[in-house]
Amino acid sequence: MTPADSAIEVRLRVNGLDREIDVDPCRLLVEVLRDDLGLTGAHVGCDSSQCGACVVLLNGLAAKACTVLAAQCNESEVTTIEGLSSGSELHRVQAAFQEHHALQCGFCTPGMIMTTVDLLTTNPSPTEAEITEALHGNLCRCTGYVNIVRAVLSLAAHSSSEGGEG
């Protein structure tokens, strides 16, 4: 039996678009996003769910796409880094990372941003300790995290003064 013989249809809403794709039941969500849908923002960095470079929002919650089978996501909503911005206007988390120089090589940045979006959705005014805890599953080998935490803190202050995630 070939993989095509065992393929199953998976329906996803990815970045606001309905998608139907036939996948082998053993394929990971990150593989389908990158290889089949051309959404390469979710990176594969470790193959063991340690680095967080593959984080996407799955039904609104941060999820490591290298730990989830695409077949498990049938009828789910997936948001990737490509789906955050609105045209040429960056999402506020992306803009804060840019403003606070919260990236160097950029490899971990999509996962950091997606994790931050989830954090700010569930906790609009996190403390520095809460930010550090939320980001503990995302590894960065370049920045030392200082500017990443500053970027998130800037949004926490913004959220509390303007009331929400927006």
pLDDT at 2: 55
Query: In the structure, what pLDDT confidence band is assigned to residue 163 with cuts at 50, 70 and 90?
Result: very low
pLDDT above 70 as % of the chain: 91
Least confident of 50-59, 82-91, 119-128, 135-144: 135-144
First-last CA distance in the chain: 49
Q: Give the per-residue pLDDT at 142.
A: 86
Q: Using CA atoms, how far apart are residues 148 and 126, in angstroms rounded to an integer?
A: 14
- Region 97-125 average pLDDT: 95
Topology of the domain covering 3-83:
Ubiquitin-like (UB roll) (3.10.20)
The CATH fold assigned to 92-162 is DNA polymerase; domain 1 (1.10.150)
pLDDT confidence tier of residue 164, bands split at 50, 70 and 90: very low
Query: What stretch of H or E contains 97?
Result: helix 92-99
The confidence score (pLDDT) of residue 161 equals 45
How many other CB atoms are there within 10 angstroms of residue 27's CB atom? 19
Domains 3-83 and 92-162 share a fold: no
pLDDT at position 48 is 82
CA 54-57-61 angle, to 5 degrees, is 120
5 pLDDT higher than 80: no
Give the residue extent of every domain in the chain: 3-83, 92-162
pLDDT of 1: 47
